[in-house]
Amino acid sequence: MELTPINSKIGVEVGGVQLAKLEGDSLAALKQAVYEHGVAVLRDQQLSPEDHIALGHRWGGIDVNNYFPLDGEYAEIAIVRKKADQETNIGGGWHTDHSYDQIPAMGSILVARTLPPKGGDTLFAHMGAAYDSLSAELKAKVATLRAFHTADHIYSPDGAYAQTDQGTELRGQELKTGATHPVVISHPRTGRKLLYVNPAFTVHFEGMTREESLPLLQELYAAAMSEDIQCRVEWRESTVAIWDNRSTWHFALNDYHGYAREMHRITLSGEALAA
């Protein structure tokens, strides 16, 4: 297995392996690379839907997404797509998946199936590096805070996506979500301190209103959006990305209007978060 850092703060390109056959010590090494670097990118992968599902189970389990369309033949695979005639994409803003769940997903295995001729890259940012960049005063301020996360304002019948041309594609609009997590968590596998808030799903701090919470949230978001803790994943045919939701944010760029883009995602089961 060959590991080539994408940038010193986040991301690694992984060569010399085929995910369809990965197991044992090699799988453990890939997991560790994802835990440490936040996102791993693997090129030239021959990964069928059956292989994709089997890899998710070998990793440690699959969480079926409640909102995205599902592959009719493979219920574990969520379809993340934008059709050629659609204007809105899925994930077109900084977020971390499933932070609104009581036990958030560990991460995702995303496989490129249909790509535009150019564009559609995904940005990632490392929340360990974001936390490290905070001043001592700000670290002390957030050390014991907890924040409430929900997806209701995004996916509900009158939510953000319902106002767009993605509204009829999505499922689960009737669901109610909500979870409270520490603002600073320890990574369950590495112990690294991570900033755990995000603009899409974090609504307010525990014991504070949305209005009272926004100034501090915006300060934290500004640190997390620093370009020096980001990497850009350029999608190519047969590319797979695996990322850690606890330690990263991501942002799917919507710069390929008039072309279709379809990705197949398996969401990996997580574990309880702790400060």
Q: Structural domain boundaries of the chain?
A: 2-268
Could you tell me the pTM of the whole model?
0.96
- pLDDT higher than 90, residue 174: no
Angstrom CA distances, 97 to 23, 55, 94, 245, stand at 25, 19, 10, 6
Nearest to 36 by CA among 203, 189, 149, 227: 189
Question: Once rounded to an integer, what is the mean pLDDT over residues 186-200?
Answer: 97
Averaged pLDDT for residues 63-83 = 91
Res 140: pLDDT: 98
Average pLDDT rounded to a whole number, residues 57-64: 96
Each residue's pLDDT tens digit, 236-254: 999 999 999 999 999 999 9
- Which amino acid belongs to residue 91? G
The pLDDT mean for the chain works out to: 96
Quick one: pLDDT at residue 71?
A: 85
* Whether the predicted pLDDT of 189 surpasses 90: yes
Q: Which residue has the higher pLDDT, 159 or 103?
A: 103
Which CATH class, in words, describes the domain spanning 2-268? alpha beta
pLDDT tens for each residue of 156-171: 888 888 889 898 888 8
pLDDT at 188 over 90: yes
- Residue 116's Cα: distance from chain center in Å? 21
- With beta carbons less than 8 A apart as the criterion, state whether 178 and 206 touch: no
> pLDDT tens-digit profile of 217-228?
999 999 999 999
Residues 6+ apart with CB under 8 A from 57: none
> For residue 58, what is the enclosing H or E element?
helix 49-59
